[in-house]
Chains A and B, each alone.
Chain A
Amino acid sequence: MLEIRNLVCRYGKVTALKGISLTVPEKQLVVLVGANGAGKSTTLRAISGLVPAASGGIFFCGQEITGMSASRILSLGIAHCPEGRRVFPHMTVLENLEMGCYLRSDGKEISSDLDRIFSLFPRLAERRKQVAGTLSGGEQQMLAIGRAMMSRPKLIMFDEPSLGLAPNIVEQTFAIIQSIRESGTTVLMVEQNAYAALDMCNYAYLLEAGSMVLEGPGEKLINDPHVREAYLGAGLAHA
């Protein structure tokens, strides 16, 4: 569904991605792991058109999307949940969700999608008029996921969905992401919480300093000695 070939991205003189390739098959959950600054977020930003590609190509459903505008890519069906501040803090829950379908103009469909999100996240329905900045961290995460779903994406990309959340909320978030995949939406996820991410994914890539160093099914990476030592903390446990 999504294919990246030899993608190179630069921020000024710094090369953030040194020619990476990656494939996300339809209806699968693919995870990108790696340390801080490895280029994980840059990869997602390049896919959604927020960072220009210096060379290489990005293909979505057989169509080249390299160099397209962010809004065009979104309307083709790629939604991006950026990391960090996830919601528009001074807008209400409802307004936040409406921002998710900013590019759509089909009113009836939108209201049925809103109903779907509210039935999926009853907490948001209760608080639809509440200002998003006053929600708890977990609720903000639900809202961010709901907003991404409002654009009816074929592919959702999550950037560090567990960042800054309480452990039980992280678990809940992963369960929701899993259910999004089960409902037929393809997911590409960047995650520092490597063990949980590798455990739930179909396929994983390991990014180090802008290059792909390892790929394979989740178990393969979990059992890889290098991954165990560097990312899963197993080395310390055995010491």
Chain B
Amino acid sequence: MKRFLPYIAVAFFASVPLWLQDQYFLHTLVVSGIFMLAAMSLNLLLGYTGQLSLGHVAFFGIGAYVSALTSLGFSVSIFGFQITHEPWPPVVGVILGTLVAGICGYLIGKLAFRVRGAYFVIVSISFAEVVRLVALNWVELTNGPLALPGIPPLTIGFEWTGYATLWGKAQNYYVVLVAIIIAYVIIKRLVYSPFGRAMIALRENETLAMSVGISVTKYLVLAAIFAGAMAGTAGGLYAHYIQIIDPMVFMFLNTVTMVIMVITGGKGTLAGPLVGGLIFGLAPVVLRSYVGPELQWILYGLLMILIVFVLPDGIVPAIERWFGRSSGNADDQRPLTLETSKAPQS
């Protein structure tokens, strides 16, 4: 049963646009899906290496801006040189956005992982703020607070198949679904590879990890590259779906949303950000249909506090434990989660 769960979930979510009539709800699903993708990338850092990146939205925003500018084209002068870029297809934009965000992950990782813990949190926040200010003030390139409107939607296809432009919500829904599946498979392979082992070892006991020959900085930087690139992809998809972006994409609230998704779902688990993302992506919309707007966010907050209090390890580890207990098959439980087992440490 547990083995087929991912397939059942994929089949279910693939069928959603076929029977869901409410277009607004579908839109919410697409946006939630994009944030789930970003949360998955954050989970790589927060869940597996244990480093809290509170500036994760920077990678998301960089992906969004790079992708938007690549597909819109721009003309700026830097130090007297006029640089003009003709519009490229949106797909190329998303790929470039991914690459640039990955490179930023590398730079930040190189810079920030000399320090860890609280210092890394501060460096990551500062990075996000700097990028936001650049987006706000480099008006020639980014249009500043006036936003970049008219970003073309994604087109897919090849020369020999003809191109299809993805205007509709259902089409974008499938793009995001496929992106999440690909990201899930990539992260799963990473986590169960020697690279994943090294990351988990670092989180569990850094001194010991170093003593078995794991290079701390190397693996943290690698994790930051993957996390940055994946958040960049999410940002690119966001830009082409929403079709307008402004410096508000760098809002701290967006990072907080990602962190909430990861923590409530279960950091350091594969499915955690997905479960957390679904709950907190859809909660505002679902709550709105039952209660007034004043109560909506209060309930959102209460739900969050409740989950963190009752299930401090997150929803997925709690379900896994319950599963493990009821089936009596403890051997099957991979101890990759951060569950706080009350083990004697002597």
CB distance from A125 to the nearest CB of B (A): 14
Q: How many residues of A contact B (CB 8 A)?
A: 38
Q: Are B335 and A131 in contact (CB under 8 A)?
A: yes
Q: How far is the CA of A102 from the CA of B221 in the complex (A)?
A: 19
**Residue A213, interface by CB 8 Å:** no
Q: How large is the interface on B (under 10, 10 to 19, 20 to 34, 35 or more residues)?
A: 20 to 34
55-103 of chain A: CB within 8 A of chain B: 69-71, 74-75, 79-82, 84-92, 95, 98-100, 102-103
Taken residue by residue from 190 to 220, chain B's Cβ proximity to chain A (1 for < 8 Å, 0 otherwise) reads as 0000100110110011011111111100000
Q: Is the CB of A82 within 8 A of B201?
A: no
In the complex, what residue of chain B is closest to A150 when comparing beta carbons? B212
Interface window among A133-141, A177-185, A187-195, A230-238: A133-141
User: Any chain B CB within 8 A of the CB of A123?
Assistant: no
A95-B197 contact, Cβ under 8 Å, with A70-B211, A89-B204, A129-B331: yes
A100–B200 alpha-carbon span in the complex (Å): 14
> A88 and B208: CB pair below 8 A?
yes
A131 to B343, CA, bound (A): 10
Q: Would you call the interface of chain B mostly helix, strand, loop, or mixed?
A: loop
Q: Are A90 and B197 in contact (CB under 8 A)?
A: no
**Inter-subunit contact B338/A90 (CB<8 Å):** yes
Tell me which residues across on chain B come within 8 A of A80, comparing CB atoms: 211
| Bound complex: CA A80 to CA B207 (Å) | 10
Most chain B CB atoms below 10 A, which of A70, A99, A136, A137: A99
**Chain B residues closer than 8 Å to A110, beta-carbon distance:** none
B77 within 8 A of A: no
Which residues of A sit under 8 angstroms from B331, Cβ to Cβ?
129
Question: Which residues of chain B from 241 to 299 have any CB-CB distance to chain A below 8 Å in the complex?
Answer: none
Q: Chain A residues in contact with chain B, CB under 8 A?
A: 48, 50, 69-71, 74-75, 79-82, 84-92, 95, 98-100, 102-103, 129, 131, 133-137, 140, 147, 151, 164-165
**Residues of chain B at the chain A interface (Cβ within 8 Å):** 194, 197-198, 200-201, 204-205, 207-215, 331, 335-339, 341, 343-346
Q: A90-B200, A90-B337, A137-B346 known; 8 other A-B pairs, CB under 8 Å?
A: A71-B215, A74-B212, A86-B208, A88-B208, A91-B201, A102-B214, A133-B345, A151-B213
